Amino acid sequence: MDAITSTKPGGSALNPMKAADANKSSLGKDAFLKLLTTQLQHQDPLNPMEDTEFMGQMAQFSSLEQITNMANANTAMADNLAFSKSVSLIGRTVTYTDATKQTHTGTVDRVTTTDGKPALTVGGIDDVDPSSVTEVL
């Protein structure tokens, strides 16, 4: 797909794809819609944007919105799956490796969430990362 190009008052071209690359960030759907609106406001009335260009840009916007929605849904599913896996360890004896690379064994007492990520309490020790579990007995 071609990048969207708009013209600012004063004649300099805006290319949101290049601007996004320069800032090391992605173009969000709000910014995309704002740029599209600006492009429509500042187009030459004697040489308006062709229908095919406009439809292509609207298709890009629609695709961007759907991809954003899918990414958010995938993130929510991954978080729920991680929490469910952690909950399934309650009452089980696990072996885990701590930050100092020492191995500990204990029973999972409970699961809490910290910043949306599950954390285990194993044998009275809080905030055990479920990914550090090496064995479930």
CATH number of the domain residue 124 falls in: 2.30.30
CA angle 32, 51, 2 (to 5 degrees): 50
In this structure, are 18 and 67 located in the same domain?
Answer: yes
In this structure, are 30 and 96 located in the same domain?
Answer: no
> What domain count does the chain have?
2
CA 135/CA 133 separation, integer angstroms:
6
Q: Are 111 and 89 in contact (CB under 8 A)?
A: yes
In this structure, are 20 and 38 located in the same domain?
Answer: yes
Quick check: is 121 in a domain?
Answer: yes
The strand pair at 93-97 and 133-136 is best described as antiparallel
What integer pLDDT is reported at residue 55 of this predicted model?
A: 77
User: What six digits make up the tokens of 17?
Assistant: 């794809």
The pLDDT of residue 29 is above 90: no
Of residues 134 and 36, the one with the higher pLDDT is: 134
Quick check: is 1 in a domain?
Answer: no
Q: Which domain holds residue 102?
A: 89-136
The average confidence (pLDDT) of the chain is 78
Quick check: is 119 in a domain?
Answer: yes
User: What six digits make up the tokens of 92?
Assistant: 């089980």
At which of 66, 82, 98 does a domain end? Answer: 82
In this structure, are 111 and 128 located in the same domain?
Answer: yes
Instruction: State how far the alpha carbon of 67 is from the alpha carbons of 53, 60, 62, 72, 104, in Å.
Output: 21, 10, 9, 9, 42
In this structure, are 76 and 123 located in the same domain?
Answer: no
User: What six digits make up the tokens of 9?
Assistant: 């008052």
CA angle 29, 8, 49 (to 5 degrees): 70
The pLDDT of residue 10 is above 70: no
In this structure, are 33 and 99 located in the same domain?
Answer: no
Q: Are 28 and 21 in contact (CB under 8 A)?
A: no
Rounded to an integer, the average pLDDT of 100-117 is 90
- The pairs formed by 26-35 with CB atoms below 8 angstroms and a separation of 24 or more are 27/64, 28/68, 29/61, 29/64, 29/65, 29/68, 32/4, 32/60, 32/61, 32/64, 33/61, 35/4, 35/6
